Amino acid sequence: MNVALFITCFNDTLFPSAGKAVVEVLERVGCTVDFPLEQTCCGQMHVNSGYEHEAGGMMSRFERVFAEYDAVVSPSASCVAHVRERIPSLHDRVFELTEFLVDELGVVDVGASFPHRVTLHPTCHSLRLLQIGDRPRRLLEAVRGIELVELGEERECCGFGGTFAVKNADTSMAMLSDKVRHVLDTRAEVCTSADTSCLMHIGGALRRQRTGVRTMHLAEILAAQE
């Protein structure tokens, strides 16, 4: 199957390893992956901040760049949710990675090996807007050698929420403190999720506290063969 990678500006700028991992996983399960160089921001951040009109050009560009593809796959549940809601012509063709693997390709075991203790943080957009349910967990459970431990109060928001963390810093930090406490309770080596934005938020606190717990996008674990 030919698919296009929608890397998102966040991943492209700060976490390119997540996009590379998506390509590796998709190619391993038989997909041909194209990367449209003309892609830019989908406009989510601007719309969430109240600048929907100003984001119109970006959304129109996004629609034009990805118009020819039957499937567009992204390592960001939040950006996929935005595109589905705001760009109707692409609603049925843009997928978050885990739902594409499980629902569209019928794949759960992607041939990964990752012998580490891992906990999964289900992000708000993946839970509440995309409703991807247990797909990330099913993919992780098929990874060889992994010890997957349940995260307490996993459905609670980590407090990132894009500009929410900046505009409501005190509230955000209180929510983050709760999330970090639950991560540490698992004694996991790695905290993973379907959004690097949440992982950046959580990972920052874990590093500042020198916990030794690292964060990895779920795609990076699925790409691993240790």
Residues 6+ away with beta carbon under 8 Å from 172 = 159, 160, 161, 164, 165, 201
Specify if 203 maps to a domain.
Answer: yes
- pLDDT (average), residues 29-47: 94
Residues 14 and 97 in one domain: yes
Instruction: In whole angstroms, give the CA distance from residue 146 to residue 69.
Output: 34
The reply to whether 92 and 124 lie within a common domain is: no
Q: At 191, which CATH number?
A: 3.40.50
Domain extent, residue 137, equals 117-223
Q: Are 39 and 53 in contact (CB under 8 A)?
A: no
* 75 and 134 assigned to the same domain: no
Calculate the dihedral angle through the C-alpha atoms of 196, 27, 1, 41, rounding to the nearest 10 degrees: 30
The Cα 111–Cα 114 span in angstroms is 10
The tens digit of pLDDT for each residue in 112-169 reads 999 999 999 999 989 888 999 999 999 999 999 999 999 999 999 999 887 788 888 8
Q: Do 55 and 87 have their domain in common?
A: yes
In a domain, 110, yes or no: no
Instruction: Using the Cα atoms of residue 223, residue 45, residue 42 and residue 84 in order, give the sign of their dihedral.
Output: positive
- Whether residue 112 is contained in a domain is answered as no
Q: pLDDT by residue (tens digit) across 3-27?
A: 999 999 989 999 999 999 999 999 9
Q: Are residues 84 and 128 in the same domain?
A: no
